[in-house]
């Protein structure tokens, strides 16, 4: 099969943050907890920077899964927020699907906890309905590398594209000249090494 490069388009993308809940985050073991939370917040900042419509959803908040990470709720106070009463697959929730379709976007940028369930199930369902799905791997987490690899394989076999938040941001931005300071600040806020690089750049270009 010939591969077609279907790249992200900021005018046709919506971000889905699925089940980044306090209880579920304690299950993430395939990535360092601090790095994982940084990546989730970086994805959120990316969505804000590119003005992408963003949809939040949680599963069974009243149970052990717990509430949504408070930073996400604070960052997107006006975003659709679907607290699913019990559906494990977010796509089984009518309000969630309606919120996505209401954006008119065909590219779904998705991340969540845990990868093989909360990300894979809606990703596969969306692909089956004709959406293009881009999974942000480093803002999604699960129990271990084995379950992560199984989830990635299942999604890619169905047509999902695996990306990191950094790669997604670069693809959305297209050209540094669109906004050097803005993109550099986004990266600097979440990648310590990049902060050093950008500080050097700002020093060299000061006064020019």
| 170-194 confidence digits (pLDDT tens) | 999 999 999 999 999 999 999 988 8
Q: Which of 15, 24, 118, 119 is catalytic?
A: 118
* More confident call, 94 vs 194: 94
Half-sphere exposure of 124 (CA within 13 A, CB side): 17
84, β-bridge pairs: 59
Looking at residue 104, its pLDDT comes to 98
| 141-166 confidence digits (pLDDT tens) | 999 999 999 999 999 999 999 999 99
Letter string b/e over residues 108-120, b meaning 16 or more CB atoms within 10 A of that residue's CB: bbbbbbbbbbbbb
Ranges of beta strands (E only) in 52-93 are 54-59, 81-84
Mean pLDDT, residues 108-127 taken together: 98
**What is the distance between the alpha carbons of residues 81 and 179, in angstroms, rounded to a whole number?**
30
170 catalytic? Reply is no
Work out the mean pLDDT of the chain and round it to a whole number.
95
Give the closest residue to 58 by CA, choosing from 28, 105, 93: 93
**What is the distance between the alpha carbons of residues 117 and 88, in angstroms, rounded to a whole number?**
8
Looking at residue 192, its pLDDT comes to 87
* Residue 167 buriedness (CB in 10 A; 0-12 / 13-18 / 19+): middle
Token pair recorded at residue 186: 């986004």
CB 6 within 8 A of CB 58: no
DSSP states of 116-127: IIIIHHHHHHHH
């Amino acid at each position: 099969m010939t591969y077609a490069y279907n790249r992200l388009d900021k005018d046709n993308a919506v971000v889905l943050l699925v089940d980044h809940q306090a209880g579920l985050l304690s299950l993430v073991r395939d990535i360092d907890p601090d790095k994982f939370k940084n990546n989730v917040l970086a994805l959120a900042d990316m969505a804000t920077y590119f003005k992408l419509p963003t949809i939040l959803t949680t599963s069974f908040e009243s149970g052990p899964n717990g509430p949504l990470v408070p930073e996400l709720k604070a960052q997107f106070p006006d975003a659709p927020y679907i607290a699913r009463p019990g559906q494990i697959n977010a796509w089984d929730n009518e309000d969630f699907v309606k919120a996505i379709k209401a954006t008119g976007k065909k590219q779904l940028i998705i991340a969540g906890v845990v990868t093989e369930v909360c990300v894979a199930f809606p990703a596969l369902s969306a692909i089956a309905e004709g959406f293009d799905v881009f999974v942000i791997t480093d803002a999604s987490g699960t129990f271990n590398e084995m379950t992560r690899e199984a989830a990635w394989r299942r999604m890619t076999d169905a047509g999902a594209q695996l990306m990191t938040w950094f790669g997604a941001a670069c693809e959305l931005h297209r050209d540094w000249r669109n906004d050097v300071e803005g993109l550099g600040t986004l990266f600097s806020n979440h990648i310590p090494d990049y902060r050093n690089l950008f500080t050097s750049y700002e020093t060299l270009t000061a006064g020019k």
